[in-house]
Amino acid sequence: MTEVERHTYDVVVVGAGGAGLRAAIEAREQGMRTAIICKSLFGKAHTVMAEGGIAASMGNVNSDDNWQTHFRDTMRGGKFLNHWRMAELHAQEAPDRVWELETWGALFDRTKDGRISQRNFGGHEYPRLAHVGDRTGLELIRTLQQKVVSLQQEDFKEYGDHEARIKVFQEYTVTRVLKGHSVRGEDRVSGVFGYQRESGRFFTIEAPAVVLATGGIGKSFKVTSNSWEYTGDGHALALLAGATLVNMEFVQFHPTGMVWPPSVKGILVTESVRGDGGVLRNSEGKRFMFDYIPDVFRAQYAETEAEGDRWYSDQANNRRPPELLPRDEVARAINSEVKAGRGTPHGGVYLDVSTRLPAEEIRRRLPSMHHQFKELADVDITAEPMEVGPTCHYVMGGVEVDPDTAAASVPGLYAAGEVAGGMHGSNRLGGNSLSDLLVFGRRAGLHASLYAAALAERPELDEEQISAAAEEALNPFEGTGGDGPSENPYTVHQELQQTMNDLVGIIRREAEVAEALQRLVGLRERAERAVVEGHRQFNPGWHLALDLRNMLLVSECVARAALERTESRGGHTREDHPQMDSAWRKVNLICSLAEKGGADGSDGQIALVRKDNPPIRADLLALFETSELKKYLTDGELPSATIPEQRTDADADVDADVPDGAEQ
């Protein structure tokens, strides 16, 4: 039998970013023995890179803000494809989740009266993003990390063991979610299997509840702001365990990534640059965003530069500058400008804050950006403009979950954070991820705990699955993956990234996406023949070979869904179907693992079905003007004449108490 290190816990959280840590803290506070697993060191997860802030309608800077407004902005940003219940819970609970961080030691930037300061961001009607300069993610992760440590200190006092009830397995990678059977023969989660990076040894953790909080998929694309961890592991683990993914075609390309020098291409330039006054110009010096305001947003955005500029100091009487449109709009605009030959020498556009704010102020508000450009590109952003262009940033699609409990379709499996789908619809607003991590991380931890505690008997680990998982993981050493020459995993990865970037990138066409699906089949065959050198101890070539399975599965989901959705919406732009189509708003695309050989006769591994997007609850619809709803909904979905057009917030509050799960 394979040598495997074995542990037993009540709840396993895969991922130590914002979502995973918040889930784990909740599970531990619910009395569960909790394990946190992460691929890198504790405190290094991708969340650490978040810059601009965390969205919550605390109303500290503009007291008109409230959850209803945040809800409205989120739905508009997502072009109404969002699961309305997730958007509602998110908007309602975000302020509490932020305030709670202060009680754990977080130090946000302050307003004059000593409260948490909030900044403007694209798509948010009011200044809403709590922040710490441009290193908000670091503050978030450090605060949660230190909260975990404080729980461990409590346990040390009580049990003499820091790790009695919450333990971090750092540099451990999960490759399989394991399943067992209940008495009734129902399939459900029994634990996880994986390897330790340091030694290469295998491990299992037996646990009835597993929370996936593994983040995103950006490493399947060539130009990305994402770290190596973003290989779509959680998405793939969910698929392989029998769960479903929703709306994987929606991938967010952040409008402003670095474009020069080549080795830093894709690194993020925070949206705060624009939130704090930065403007976009083409090579002719024109602020081109005024030409790209789509009809659905025309009422909310300034028509002239003068009005846009006045807005920074007087928001009551002016409309926002179009640089602060949702990200998908800005990214497409930049793409068009460059295509039209009005780009910079290195194929981007100019983002300028140097003529907009005093140098001192830039250094204070945007210290990391100042540092990043100085160190990596020899550009002083207080004196000259930056060159920027779109970069793959975030995946809106993800594991299909119940909005209230974060439960996936497989009993015992939960998902929260970027790996979960639904919340952001077709496009995420800046700042809405960090708040999403906390709101749904907590919910996932809570409901995983309730589920684990209520189980009469825990499913046992199945030795056959463990041996199969071990065999799968060792394949790259054996070179047993079929006929043909052995492959270098790095080469296969580079070709995958090029394929996704070129064929399923920011602008998509039917023939190209179909071509991508073809190539993915070939890449998968080659990935199976990937062979690695050396031994199992901290071997990056081996790790990559194993990650390829996940990236290929996820890439196929993205491509298949992108081919199916014949409209343009948010993070999915089809050049051959440029309009947004209300009929498609009602449709979610659901991916699951296909039976081998695919029922549709294709060589794919993924089956795709359409599923109705549940209708938005009436009192939430009533938060919008009918004239606005008409832009998104089909006639049949519009509120009937008996529902008053606009309600007061007090009414909506009462209605928000509709019993949980009334809709699902």
Partner 1 sequence: MSYQANFRVWRGDSSGGGLEPYQVEVNEGEVVLDIVHRLQATQAPDLAVRWNCKAGKCGSCSAEVNGRPRLLCMTRMSTLPPDEPVTITPMRTFPVLRDLVTDVSFNYTKAREVPSFVPPQGLKPGEYRMAQEDVNRSQEFRKCIECFLCQNTCHVVRDHEENKPAFSGPRFLMRVAELDMHPLDAAAEEGLDRKRSAQEEHGLGMCNITKCCTEVCPEHIKITDNALIPLKERAVDRKYDPLVWLGSVIKRRK
Ligand X SMILES: Cc1cc2nc3c(=O)[nH]c(=O)nc-3n(C[C@H](O)[C@H](O)[C@H](O)COP(=O)(O)OP(=O)(O)OC[C@H]3O[C@@H](n4cnc5c(N)ncnc54)[C@H](O)[C@@H]3O)c2cc1C
Binding stretches for ligand X (CB under 6 A): 14-20, 37-40, 45-47, 49-54, 136-137, 173-174, 194, 213-215, 225-226, 229, 233-234, 268, 393-394, 417-419, 430-434, 437
| Residue 212 interacting partner from partner 1, ligand X, none (CB closer than 5 to 8 Å by kind) | none
Confirm or reject binding of residue 261 to partner 1 (CB under 8 A): yes
Q: What is the Cα–Cα distance from 42 to 172, expressed in whole angstroms?
A: 11
Helices 540-564 and 463-478 cross at an angle (nearest 10°) of 100
| Residue 417 interacting partner from partner 1, ligand X, none (CB closer than 5 to 8 Å by kind) | ligand X
Confirm or reject binding of residue 294 to partner 1 (CB under 8 A): no
Could you say which residues in the range 227-246 bind partner 1, by CB under 8 A? 227-229
| Residue 479 interacting partner from partner 1, ligand X, none (CB closer than 5 to 8 Å by kind) | none
Return the number of the residue (176 or 524) whose C-beta is nearest ligand X: 176
Q: What is the Cα–Cα distance from 305 to 279, expressed in whole angstroms?
A: 10
Q: HEC profile for 41-105?
A: CCCCCHHHHCCCCEECCCCCCCCCCCHHHHHHHHHHHCCCCCCHHHHHHHHHHHHHHHHHHHHCC
Which one of residues 10, 26, 125, 139 is an interface residue with partner 1 (CB under 8 A)?
139
Confirm or reject binding of residue 252 to partner 1 (CB under 8 A): no
Return the number of the residue (35 or 562) whose C-beta is nearest partner 1: 35
Whether 388 contacts 258, CB under 8 Å: yes
Confirm or reject binding of residue 49 to partner 1 (CB under 8 A): yes
Whether 568 contacts 580, CB under 8 Å: yes
Least distance CB 265 / partner 1 (angstroms): 9
Which one of residues 149, 455, 474, 607 is an interface residue with partner 1 (CB under 8 A)?
149
| Residue 96 interacting partner from ligand X, partner 1, none (CB closer than 5 to 8 Å by kind) | partner 1
Whether 403 contacts 89, CB under 8 Å: yes
Confirm or reject binding of residue 539 to partner 1 (CB under 8 A): yes
Least distance CB 134 / ligand X (angstroms): 8
Least distance CB 375 / partner 1 (angstroms): 6
The one segment of 150-158, 424-432, 464-472, 589-597 that binds partner 1 by CB under 8 A: 150-158
Return the number of the residue (494 or 498) whose C-beta is nearest partner 1: 494
Which one of residues 85, 119, 131, 135 is an interface residue with partner 1 (CB under 8 A)?
135
Return the number of the residue (45 or 622) whose C-beta is nearest ligand X: 45
Instruction: State the residue for tokens 């975030």.
Output: 394
Whether 350 contacts 338, CB under 8 Å: no
Return phi, psi of residue 357, to 5°. Answer: -135, 150
The residue sitting closest to ligand X, measured at its beta carbon, is 17
Could you say which residues in the range 155-194 bind partner 1, by CB under 8 A? 156, 162
Return the number of the residue (20 or 326) whose C-beta is nearest ligand X: 20
Pairing status of strand 129-130 against strand 118-119: antiparallel
Could you say which residues in the range 359-388 bind partner 1, by CB under 8 A? 368, 371-372, 375-377
Provide Rg for the chain, Cα atoms. 24
Least distance CB 570 / partner 1 (angstroms): 26
Could you say which residues in the range 94-133 bind partner 1, by CB under 8 A? 95-96, 99-100, 102-105, 107, 109-110, 113-115, 132-133
Tokens (6 digits) for 618: 């009436």
User: In sequence order, which residues have a C-beta less than 8 Å from that of residue 155 and are 6 or more positions away?
Assistant: 161, 162, 163, 164, 165, 166
Return the number of the residue (337 or 418) whose C-beta is nearest ligand X: 418
Return the number of the residue (221 or 542) whose C-beta is nearest partner 1: 542
| Residue 18 interacting partner from partner 1, ligand X, none (CB closer than 5 to 8 Å by kind) | ligand X
| Residue 19 interacting partner from ligand X, partner 1, none (CB closer than 5 to 8 Å by kind) | ligand X
3-state secondary structure of 443: helix
Confirm or reject binding of residue 490 to partner 1 (CB under 8 A): yes
Instruction: State the residue for tokens 């750092």.
Output: 170
* Helix, strand, coil fractions of the chain, as percent rounded to 5: 40, 15, 45
| Residue 95 interacting partner from partner 1, ligand X, none (CB closer than 5 to 8 Å by kind) | partner 1
Q: Is residue 8 classed exposed, middle or buried when 0-12, 13-18 and 19+ CB atoms within 10 A define those classes?
A: middle
Whether 260 contacts 387, CB under 8 Å: yes
The one segment of 539-547, 559-567, 568-576, 583-591 that binds partner 1 by CB under 8 A: 539-547
Q: HEC profile for 327-391?
A: HHHHHHHHHHHHHCCCCCCCCCEEEECCCCCCHHHHHHHCHHHHHHHHHHHCCCCCCCCEEEEEE
Q: Chain-centre distance of CA 639, in angstroms?
A: 31
3-state secondary structure of 288: helix
Return the number of the residue (262 or 345) whose C-beta is nearest partner 1: 262
User: In sequence order, which residues have a C-beta less than 8 Å from that of residue 412 and are 6 or more positions away?
Assistant: 188, 189, 190, 208, 209, 210, 448, 451, 452, 459
Catalytic residue annotation: 254, 274
Confirm or reject binding of residue 53 to partner 1 (CB under 8 A): no
